[in-house]
């Protein structure tokens, strides 16, 4: 059994001004599974519904949202949990790393207070014990002078350091699953790879599972065991990272891979996906990617493609079986 099992997850919010009569679908029939200690990358362009999916896993959807399907964590349905049970789940078992640590760390409290609070409240450690452990955790994330850092305030730390503090705070509660939503997007390029490497190394050592949310397919492929590609609120392709980069099965996946800027190619390749991404509620009856797809044919406009199994891949494209798409050749 998986640690996390997401089945047919849907999130819809009332359309503005419609007083609950019209719904906007943001996440549509998402299936995901993450085993204990496994890492899954959830990849897609901005607006595809990645963050909303993560929020739904923790019961953090906007007020008035309609949730369908089921989220099962360690054998228990999250969708049926009370507010109190959800808070306990978020405090101990599923921890989140956000894109902008500054928005999630109280600016008027010291780094020490931030790091020790959960250890004292949730794990029942004494303040002195929690502080000693906080210093060790800071060393683990590559911050050597922990005792001094504990007395500092968030504004005294760079974005990269603060994100390491955030990672230390997540590890402090020894969660089973880390949800990392664009954890390095706000950092400069060099710091990005350092912070990602630290997060991944520490979670592997501890056997902690991870859902890594990113628009960067190359980053996700380099970090995660498996990848799920999201477009317009749906998962369009799921494969192991190795198989997906070698043999992408969905035209959108192949387009994402080919359009990313490459450091070894001086002249940037032109984006091969024309047009702009759409949200789930903006897509018509057919395949949501059809208007941007170079391989689209008449049947693609008629109905939403079902997910099919294709040599180990799960792919939602009616043409997947006949197409040979370019991967990381
Ligand atoms: N609180 C909200 N209320 C209504 N719509 C929202 C809300 N948050 C996000 N959305 C919309 O849901 C869609 C998916 O957003 P999001 O999950 O943030 O995408 P991603 O993380 O993939 O960039 C977008 O069209 C976005 O505008
Ligand atoms: Mg997002």
Per residue in 222-278, pLDDT tens? 999 999 999 999 999 999 999 999 999 999 999 998 876 554 444 445 556 888 888
Q: Is the separation of the CB atoms in 231 and 288 below 8 Å? A: yes
pLDDT digits (tens, 9 = 90+) for 267-310: 445 556 888 888 999 988 999 999 999 999 999 999 999 999 99
- Report how far ligand 1's centroid is from the alpha carbon of 52 (Å): 6
Confidence at residue 1, expressed as pLDDT on a 0 to 100 scale: 77
Whether residue 184 has its Cβ less than 6 Å from ligand 1: no
CATH of region 4-224: 3.40.50.300
Beta strands in the chain (DSSP E): 4-14, 23-34, 39-43, 66-73, 76-77, 94-97, 177-181, 209-214, 226-231, 234-240, 308-310, 313-315
Distance 99 CA to ligand 2 centre (A): 8
DSSP string, 41-97: EEE--TTSSHHHHHHHHTT-PPTT-EEEEEEEETTEESTT--HHHHHHIIIIIEEEE
Task: Report the pLDDT averaged over residues 211-229.
Answer: 96
Q: Which residues of 87-104 are buried (b: 16+ CB within 10 A; e: fewer)?
A: eebbeeebbbbbbbbeee
pLDDT of residue 227: 98
Residues 6+ apart with CB under 8 A from 53: 6, 9, 11, 27, 30, 32, 42, 213, 230
**Separation of 42 CA from ligand 2 center, angstroms?**
10
What's the pLDDT score for residue 12? 96
Closest Cα to atom 24 of ligand 1: 47
What pLDDT sits at residue 275? 87
Average pLDDT over residues 102-120: 94
pLDDT at 154: 96
Q: Is 45 exposed, middle or buried (0-12, 13-18, 19+ CB in 10 A)?
A: middle
Atom of ligand 1 nearest to the CA of 233: 14
- The domain limits of the chain are 4-224
Statement: residue 106 has pLDDT above 60: yes
The reported pLDDT for the residue numbered 19 is: 66
pLDDT band at 18, cuts 50/70/90?
A: low
The preferred substitution site among 12, 51, 215, 229 for testing ligand 1, maximizing ligand atoms within 8 Å of CB, is 51
Closest residue to atom 26 of ligand 1, CA basis: 47
Q: Which of 16, 41, 47 to mutate to test the pocket of ligand 1 (most atoms within 8 A of CB)?
A: 47
Alpha-carbon distance 245 to 242, whole Å? 6
- Coil, strand or helix at 220: helix
Q: Is the pTM of this model over 0.85?
A: yes
- Supply the mean pLDDT for the chain: 92
3-class secondary structure, 160: helix
| Predicted pLDDT of residue 21 | 73
């Amino acid at each position: 059994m998986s640690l996390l099992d997401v089945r047919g997850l849907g999130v819809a919010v009332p359309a503005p001004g419609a007083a609950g009569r019209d719904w906007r679908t943001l996440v549509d029939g998402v299936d995901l599974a993450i085993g204990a200690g496994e890492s899954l990358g959830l990849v897609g362009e901005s607006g595809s519904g990645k963050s909303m999916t993560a929020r739904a896993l923790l019961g953090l959807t906007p007020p008035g949202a309609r949730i369908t399907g089921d989220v099962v964590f360690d054998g228990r349905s999250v969708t049926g949990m009370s507010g109190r049970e959800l808070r306990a789940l978020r405090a101990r078992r599923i921890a989140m790393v956000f894109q902008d640590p500054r928005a999630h760390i109280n600016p008027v409290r010291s780094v020490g207070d931030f790091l020790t609070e959960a250890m004292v409240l949730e794990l029942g450690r004494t303040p002195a014990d929690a502080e000693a452990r906080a210093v060790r955790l800071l060393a683990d994330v590559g911050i050597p002078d922990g005792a001094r850092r504990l007395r500092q305030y968030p504004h005294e730390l760079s974005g990269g350091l603060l994100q390491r503090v955030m990672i230390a705070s997540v590890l402090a509660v020894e969660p089973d699953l880390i949800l990392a939503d664009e954890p390095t997007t706000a950092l400069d390029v060099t710091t990005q790879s350092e912070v990602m490497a630290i997060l991944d190394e520490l979670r592997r050592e501890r056997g902690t599972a991870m859902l890594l949310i990113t628009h960067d397919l190359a980053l996700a492929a380099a970090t995660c065991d498996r990848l799920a590609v999201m477009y317009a609120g749906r998962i369009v392709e799921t494969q192991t990272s190795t198989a997906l980069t070698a043999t992408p099965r969905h035209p959108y996946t192949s387009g994402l891979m080919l359009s990313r800027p490459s450091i070894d190619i001086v002249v940037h390749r032109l984006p091969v996906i024309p047009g702009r991404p759409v949200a789930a509620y903006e897509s018509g009856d057919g395949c949501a990617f059809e208007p941007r797809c170079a391989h689209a044919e008449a049947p693609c406009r008629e109905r939403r493609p079902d997910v099919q199994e294709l040599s180990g891949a799960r792919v939602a494209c009616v043409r997947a079986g006949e197409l040979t798409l370019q991967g990381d050749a």
